[in-house]
Structure 1
Amino acid sequence: MPLTDLPLDELRTYRPSIRLPKDFDAFWDTTLAQARVASWPATRSRVATPLQTVQFEELRFSGYGGESIRAWLITPQNHTGQLPVVVEYVGYNGGRGVPGEKLFWASAGYAHVVMDTRGQGSGWGTGGATPDPHGSDSSFPGFMTRGITDRAEYYYRRVYTDAVMLIDAVRSLDGIDSDRIAVTGASQGGGIAIAAAALSHGVAATLPDVPYLSHFERAVELTAEMPFTEIVRYLAVHRDRIEQVFDTLSYFDGVNFAERISIPAYFSVALMDGIVLPSTVFAAFNHLKSADRAIEVYRFNGHEGGQTVHALRQAEWLAARMP
């Protein structure tokens, strides 16, 4: 695999100006206020598994429009006191999976919450269980172009709102330390974690891993692999909608969310990543307001990034900030 982007010394200082809508904050304030008006209390129910060291519960919470979203709540067996929490968002077209496949964070002593991404879960892994009841006008197969000509109807408006509402729900749970909540995820999950960190109250740290969904215009023009090419194919047909599409995407760009993040942040990037260009990751990272920030660079990896090596580094980094 070759390097896919700028040299590392240029990436370290890469801080592009991108579209920022004047009503960006107002749009998200209104969106979240509407979701909270429609919300209802989260529910949790024990899930039987043969595992002896962790406990699984299904968490159902109120997402966008008061719609029911599912998540796993995984905790160390027989723990005492209030647990710090890691909320994880999942990569593109994956789901929360089946009980037992995600054990790392609970094994490290955290309550681990894994959000099911609405409508996704059939591209890899072991599935999802949350529908997206909203339709779309014409779109290219996948999720990237659903509702893409209207910020109010765009698919990721619902997903980002779900992510924030999950944090609201987690803060209300018994046995949880609401002052020690971190958000993480890889690829799409990393992009969602950036948005959730910017839009939520009381998040203590964010750990986006090879995060997707940033610097859309560069990504769409230069990335040769899916899923950004979904937008390319859409615009190849809808030649008159280019400005309209990028205006919509500016409300969902990780760079604009990063500018609103001041909590500790630990990113990762892979320099041979053909799915998420390194410059799009650095564009978000370099716009952070965080005084405590770091980025782990995997020079000879693709979109898999650091995998378990990075997970162990994340655990050490987070333990120093949420003891």
Structure 2
Amino acid sequence: MKKSILIPLFVLWIGIVTGQPARQPVEVRVVPEHADWCVARGERIRFSVSVWKDGHYLSDVPLEYECGPEKMSAMRRDRLVYKGGELSVDAGSSEIPGFVSCRVEVEFDGKKYSDIAKVGVDPQAIEAVAEMPDDFDQFWDREIAALAAVPLDARMTLMPERCTGRSNVYHVSFQNDRPGSRIYGILSVPKAPGHYPAILNVPGAGVRPYQGDTYLSDEGFISLTIGIHGIPVNLDAEVYESLSNGALDHYWVQGLDSREDFYYRRVYLGLVRSIDFIYSLPQFDGCFVAVSGGSQGGALSIVAAALDKRVSCYTAFYPALCDLTGYLNGRAAGWPAMFRYEKDKDRETIERKAAVSAYYDVVNFARKVNVPGFFSWGYKDEVCPPTSMYAAYNAVKAPKKLAVYPDTGHWNYPEQWVKKQHFIKSMIPNQQ
């Protein structure tokens, strides 16, 4: 039997882990003089700058600012002595859809403090620069078809110390793209007899253990949280630190010379295998799978929705891996900005890597999505620039919702997660 989702406990937990920046004794505030942080093409862009300490304006402190297209060379910059109050900064105008940023830095008592804000210039008109390979569908259809020859070989180990009164928790694994290559994760399943909808939680970038999500399973979901690196997700922290600084250092560019060898090939195929695993569970309701994640996980949510028709809906917070060749075309690209610092290397190598990246660019998967999606991000994000995220979002033709919280960076407010949960709930048949 399906159960309604209760929000408060989940929100309490998520508020702890979303990474909202801590306050500092000196606060630099950069705010667009446009209520919705957006302007039309050709409209003048202005930012209001102020510096605060103990709730009052500071004065007579050195201040520097620079303005220009997001993540690109500054078009305007200046140094001055901030005298207190509101300082208006003219950032010019732009005829090109995208984002214009203003970064401000002050020095006080020998320490530097900074802030950044961005204004969207007709962001709904941003078009991706990513090119769709002619054989994109054939490549992924062939890769997914090959999975059928690999036995799932699912393994589950109960973790009594993580179980709750309403949920059982397991460390699980199953074979991925070839025998011996495995996906590991934490599975939380309601104890009460019945058949339940499922959520696949996909991870942000990095190498780490995972706890799973009993908040969702306690309220009537099967919840599967996966890692992407083919290693157990319940090991000691030092194991992940060693791998992060060793074999998995910069994993996001490993094998980029070949579409068959690129690191994310096994990751993307692992999404399909994860859904295979969910479908193998006797507690699964057999019809509803949502995929959810942020940053790298936001990217993987979109990819899963495009690759696997069994996905019912998806949610993506500040998705990475969007419009990867942006820097080769004079504008911001998504994390991991793989061509930002390589564009001066030999042209043949860059072109080969760029061609491979097209098979993994989230924009090209966004173009293939056919199920509803929920997106949320902020305009101050420096990890996943909003230019790149809008490039992917605007490429989606299926039903979609976007909740913008302009003053957030690569983090989110609990309210955004509440909206995400309500969206997922609204997608479940027979739910209100």
Q: Which bin holds the TM-score, normalised by the shorter protein?
A: 0.7 to 0.9
User: Match of 1:302, SS?
Assistant: coil
1:296 CA drift (Å):
1.0
Query: 1-side partners of 2:196 and 2:208: how far apart?
Result: 24
Q: Does the aligned pair in 1 maintain the 2:290–2:314 contact within 8 Å? A: yes
Match of 1:42 in 2: 154
Query: 2-side partners of 1:105 and 1:126: how far apart?
Result: 25
> C-alpha deviations, 1:167-186, integer Å up to 9, x for none?
11111111012211000111
Query: 2-side partners of 1:128 and 1:205: how far apart?
Result: 34
> C-alpha deviations, 1:203-255, integer Å up to 9, x for none?
1001111110110011676559x952454445555554111111000000111
Q: Does the aligned pair in 2 maintain the 1:94–1:128 contact within 8 Å? A: no
Residue among 261, 276, 293 paired with 1:185? 293
Q: Does the aligned pair in 2 maintain the 1:96–1:115 contact within 8 Å? A: no
User: Match of 1:215, SS?
Assistant: coil
1:103 CA drift (Å):
3.6
Match of 1:317 in 2: 423
Determine whether 1:261 maps to 2:369.
yes
Query: 2-side partners of 1:264 and 1:11: how far apart?
Result: 21
1:312 CA drift (Å):
1.3
Of Structure 1 and Structure 2, the greater strand share is in 2
Determine whether 1:30 maps to 2:137.
no
1:19 CA drift (Å):
1.0
Letter in 1 for 2:310: G
> C-alpha deviations, 1:64-123, integer Å up to 9, x for none?
2231211111123x3231111110110001435235xx344224421110011116899x
Match of 1:299 in 2: 406
Match of 2:22 in 1: none
Of Structure 1 and Structure 2, the greater helix share is in 1
Residue among 188, 191, 194 paired with 1:81? 194
> C-alpha deviations, 1:263-320, integer Å up to 9, x for none?
1100112110000011211111111121x310111100000133x3222111111111
Query: 1-side partners of 2:324 and 2:424: how far apart?
Result: 29
**Greater CA radius of gyration, 1 or 2?**
2
TM superposition score normalised by structure 1: 0.85
Query: 1-side partners of 2:335 and 2:322: how far apart?
Result: 13
Letter in 2 for 1:45: T
Alpha carbons of structure 1 residues 215 and 262: separation in structure 2 relative to 1, 3 Å = same
Alpha carbons of structure 1 residues 295 and 36: separation in structure 2 relative to 1, 3 Å = same
Match of 1:160 in 2: 268
Determine whether 1:71 maps to 2:185.
yes
RMSD (CA atoms): 3.0
Match of 2:174 in 1: 61
Query: 2-side partners of 1:75 and 1:189: how far apart?
Result: 21
Letter in 1 for 2:401: A
Q: Which ranges of structure 1 fall in alignment gaps of 5 or more residues?
A: none
> C-alpha deviations, 1:19-69, integer Å up to 9, x for none?
111110111011111222123332322111155343211221121223121
Alpha carbons of structure 1 residues 39 and 299: separation in structure 2 relative to 1, 3 Å = same
Query: 2-side partners of 1:227 and 1:172: how far apart?
Result: 34
Residue correspondence of structure 1 range 1-323 to structure 2 within 5 A: 4=70, 6=99, 7-8=119-120, 10-49=122-161, 51-53=163-165, 54-66=167-179, 67-76=181-190, 78-98=191-211, 102-118=213-229, 141-218=249-326, 222=331, 228-234=336-342, 236=344, 240-290=348-398, 292-306=399-413, 308-322=414-428, 323=431
TM superposition score normalised by structure 2: 0.65
Letter in 2 for 1:300: D
Q: Percent identity?
A: 23
1:126 CA drift (Å):
5.6
